[in-house]
A = this chain, B = another copy of it.
């Protein structure tokens, strides 16, 4: 060690020490490091996930999702074929714990299905337990924001041609007052009925003329056109319309169908979500794997699932995103984080692909360097670089893909998530957009659970640290 320069001070993650030194005039170089959450050290030591992670992430990366159909939810999701069931975003939740936007969307869906005559009756029905609520993720589906799916709603059907895995998602309603943000007024229900009766049938007919549509190829193109495919879908929407326009005309699409798509910058999002879900589901069920196969929020809790821990959710309270608000709104109006759209980050898109979408910073806040820095940081918690999703600005490097929960816990670096922000009150709609800092606690819980499985049925050394 040489001492011919003045000594410097490096502080690791403890801001109070850093600040004290600065006050005394010292030069301080802070390092972004946080100690692993309590009780995870033994779990991390016990896990040897390398081989199963390689198998699981290989399936995530190999997925070739194609859009194959548009069908009513009651046909797409067997659980919705009969009875009074609804799907919702995020980990399981009941009416009593549901936030404003989720309650609003449930009320809207009950009105739309004719299961209730007015909002009060709908709320009473839901509160009475007369409706079966289940997560989209438990039924091979995903839903943006509240993510409420009822039997009559049309859904995209996406199939991974590599593994055969099928995933579903509803159609995007556009911005403003929409069900997924918890609005349930007459214009919301009228639009849902138009989507069911006009939009979905003609999309289905056009898609059948066109044949299965390669969602991965379209998404890869859009990444080269400034989309990150979560909060920016402008290029993908335009490419999708361009690809289907001739078939839509032949299928009899009227001008209002084209106007609806043109008026909706996120029209592609739901197709991309279903594609990411198909890829992530293909990577499930690998014993011992710490690969994250779902991140999702129900507006109250943020939850994750790992390939090696089955259908178990690991949850923690959802945080409020940090970003930019639409005129007239502030952080006080924002609901905690909500929606299954984090499936895009789970598959190596969204916040992980921000470097491909520098213009996104004008929507979610920050500057172009932040966008690049977000993507670069994600290489530290992922298992691979996506072979199809490439970032021109990084010399066509593949996006960081395949989150390893042990790396999250080990480094304290949590997944970067771009998201829209719902108003806290049911019916408000979107109030802004920004970045979410997912709670590390659910990753820590997942890692402890994975270690416990690996150590057999008896109590493992770290078992006592689990909640």
| Residues of A in contact with B (beta carbons under 8 Å apart) | 221, 224-227, 234-235, 237-239, 241-243, 245-250, 253-256, 258-259, 261-262, 358-359, 367-369, 392-393, 395-396
Contact = CB atoms under 8 A, between A and B. Distances in A.
Contact of A393 (B221, B242, B393, B396): B393
A226 to B, nearest CB: 5
Contact of A225 (B226, B242, B245): B226
Contacts of A247: 255
Contact of A358 (B243, B249, B369, B393): B393
Dominant SS at the A interface? helix
Contacts of A221: 234
A236 to B, nearest CB: 10
A243 B238 CA distance: 9
A354 B255 CA distance: 36
Nearest to A361: B392
A396 B371 CA distance: 13
Contact of A235 (B235, B241, B246, B249): B235
Contact of A239 (B238, B358, B367): B238
Copies in the complex: 2
B235 A258 contact: no
29 contacts: A221-B234, A225-B235, A226-B226, A226-B235, A226-B392, A235-B235, A235-B238, A237-B242, A238-B238, A238-B239, A238-B241, A242-B242, A242-B261, A245-B245, A245-B261, A246-B256, A246-B258, A246-B259, A247-B255, A248-B258, A249-B249, A249-B253, A250-B255, A358-B392, A358-B393, A359-B392, A367-B395, A368-B392, A368-B396
A262 B238 contact: no
B258 A249 contact: yes
Q: In the A-B complex, list the 5 residue pairs whose CB atoms are closest, starting with the nearest.
A: A358-B392, A238-B238, A246-B258, A245-B258, A246-B255
Contact of A368 (B253, B258, B262, B393): B393
A146 to B, nearest CB: 28
B262 A242 contact: yes
Given A225-B227, A243-B262, 16 more contacts: A224-B358, A225-B225, A225-B234, A226-B392, A235-B238, A238-B239, A241-B242, A241-B245, A242-B242, A245-B258, A246-B255, A246-B258, A246-B262, A249-B258, A368-B396, A393-B393
A262 B248 CA distance: 13
Contacts of A261: 242, 245
Contacts of A367: 395
Contacts of A245: 241, 245, 258, 261-262
Contacts of A235: 225-226, 235, 238
Contact of A359 (B224, B246, B369): B224
A224 B396 CA distance: 17
Which has the most chain B C-beta neighbours within 10 Å: A221, A242, A368? A242
A225 to B, nearest CB: 4
B224 A224 contact: no
Nearest to A372: B393
Contacts of A243: 262
Contacts of A255: 246-247, 249-250
B242 A238 contact: yes
Nearest to A254: B249
Contacts of A238: 235, 238-239, 241-242
Which has the most chain B C-beta neighbours within 10 Å: A221, A238, A241, A258? A238
A237 B245 CA distance: 13
A124 to B, nearest CB: 42
A239 B261 CA distance: 12
A59 B453 CA distance: 71
Contacts of A254: 249
A247 B253 CA distance: 12
A234 to B, nearest CB: 7
A36 to B, nearest CB: 36
Nearest to A239: B238
